[in-house]
Amino acid sequence: MSDTIGVMFGFLGGTIVGVESGYRALPHPSQDKIYQRLSDAKWFLALRWCDCLSTAAGILTNTGEFSFYNKIVLEIGEQRFIPRAYRKDIFAKCLQIEPNEIVTYSLDSLDRIIEIKAVEIDARYGKIALIKEIQ
């Protein structure tokens, strides 16, 4: 099978390239990795985005749970990063904005501000919220 490029677009600081046999997510540690579904390539880049940040960051789902968070959050704990009491409200803010829009959210009791970015990885499941600490 040929790997002729069909479509190419940027996503969360990376690039997704459509090839005849699927989708490549660049950069990727394995140059030969091809994802069969576009959503899998997007998910890889979402994880990479989160993991490469130098501040606390995570991926929040509609259930108020983190599906992934970076090493910084692992060290401080997800409850200390974003207490459970805030998570549903944070995700509600995500639902109010368009995909790729960003809003800030103040965690008043913790004297911190986070950034919420709405992203659609797979249309079947709706948005996820990319969260990163900015203060």
Residues 70 and 118 in one domain: yes
Residues 64 and 20 in one domain: no
**Total number of domains in the chain:** 2
pLDDT of residue 31: 81
Q: What does the pLDDT profile of the chain (135 residues) look like in tens digits? A: 455 667 888 888 888 998 888 998 998 888 889 999 999 999 999 999 999 999 999 999 988 899 999 999 999 999 999 999 999 999 999 999 998 999 999 987 778 899 999 999 888 888 899 999 996
Residues of the domain holding 127: 54-135
Yes or no: say if 34 and 4 are a contact pair by the CB < 8 Å rule. Answer: no
Can you tell me the distance from the alpha carbon of 43 to that of 21, in angstroms, rounded to the nearest whole number?
18
- Could you tell me the CATH number of the domain that includes residue 106? 3.30.450.20
Residues 61 and 109 in one domain: yes
pLDDT of residue 1: 43
What pTM value is reported for the model?
0.86
pLDDT of residue 132: 96
Nearest residue to 46 via CA among 126, 122, 121, 102 = 121
Residues 113 and 60 in one domain: yes
Q: Please spell the DSSP secondary structure of 5-58, one letter per residue.
A: EEEEEEETTEEEEEETTEEEEES-SSTT--BSSHHHHHHHHHHHHHHH-SS-EE
Return the structure tokens found at 71.
Answer: 């090493």
- Helix or strand run (H / E) with residue 127: strand 126-133
Residues 68 and 132 in one domain: yes
Residues 90 and 132 in one domain: yes
User: What is the tens place of the pLDDT at every residue in 4-42?
Assistant: 667 888 888 888 998 888 998 998 888 889 999 999 999
